[in-house]
Homo-oligomer: A and B are copies of this chain.
Amino acid sequence: MHEFEFIDWIKTYLGNKGNHDQIPVGIGDDMAVIDFRGGHLLLGSDMTIQGVHFEESQATAEQVGHKALGRCLSDCAAMGGEPLAAIISVAKPVSLSEEWLKGLYYGMGELADRYRCPIVGGDTSGSPERLVIDVALLGRCESNPPILRSGARVGDTLYVTGPLGGSILGKHLSFEPRIPQATLMVRNLPVHAMVDISDGLSSDLNHLCKESGCGAELWVDRLEAVISHDARRLAEKTGNLPLVHALDDGEDFELLAAIGLPPDQLPSLGENIVLYPIGMITSERTVSLVYPDGTRSALTPHGFRHF
């Protein structure tokens, strides 16, 4: 079983263990939803490992801390939620200096401060080879129900919050989680489904369609506008089309949303948020690229899998 098949197995096996009465959404979305005293809590975690999620030679300690917490905050944005508190487990190799370790916490602390997410505890351990950081985030949805992957409706327009591809050149360490944007979106727009683009657009769109029981088409002419500068730079090195990097690269941490309004009816949400229309939700359970001349090709998910 590869990673996604194994997650399906876990979901089935654990689904009847313990009491799920207060768990409207468990494994399979960006975060779980837990009912508590009439409110919606969100719970999720992300593990960040030296040599897997960052290379020590290419990232500062502050950037690693930023990424470790930012990944969880991005999940919270994708649920339309706000952070309540985070906890951090860190396993530290002997070789890591005290200064570097402090830098890691500076990176997390700065982001925690900006998004009003207190870091309230965690665990410390030794690690024989590598730095491992696990961040667990508790969030809440107070003024709106959580936005799930499963809510997309046929006819919804697909929007992304920013350019995609080539994040390995730097953005994966410096992205800003789209929490303010998500808050504005869920308050002002009919957002039916949302996911953050962590595995890659082709892969995360596939997850959204699968959970919603629908398909999608992506408009190649519109995708041109969301091919990032870094996707173009990386394409020069790899020989791939820049579009391929925009579709398949992971860790952009932009939001992909299915919204019940076409581009010409979308109100402006202010200068800090741009929504790029890139396609629409369809009833056929396939995901296609539609070219300007009307031809179509199937889009195969090619995002990153850990195993």
**A interface vs B, CB < 8 Å?**
1, 3, 6-7, 9-10, 13-14, 17-20, 22-23, 26-29, 31-32, 34, 36-39, 41, 43-47, 49, 51-53, 84-85, 87-92, 94, 98, 101-102, 105-106, 108-110, 112-113, 115-130, 132, 134, 136, 138, 140, 306-307
Whether A49 touches B91, Cβ cut-off 8 Å, given contacts A7-B124, A124-B306, is yes
Q: Which single member of B47, B102, B116 contacts A91 (CB below 8 Å)?
A: B47
How many copies of this chain does one complex carry?
A: 2
Question: When chains A and B are docked, how far (Å) is the Cα of A36 from the Cα of B37?
Answer: 8
Considering only CB atoms, which chain B residue lies closest to A15 in the complex?
B118
- Can you list 25 pairs linking A and B with CB atoms under 8 Å apart? A7-B124, A13-B109, A14-B119, A18-B115, A26-B120, A29-B121, A32-B120, A34-B120, A36-B39, A36-B84, A37-B37, A41-B41, A43-B87, A45-B87, A45-B134, A49-B125, A49-B132, A52-B125, A52-B126, A123-B134, A129-B129, A129-B130, A132-B132, A134-B134, A136-B136
What's the minimum C-beta distance from A20 to chain B, rounded to whole angstroms? 5
Q: Which residues of B contact A34 (CB under 8 A)?
A: 84-85, 120, 138
Q: Which residues of B contact A26 (CB under 8 A)?
A: 118, 120-121
Q: In the complex, A149→B138 CA distance in Å? A: 23
| A127, closest chain B residue (CB) | B49
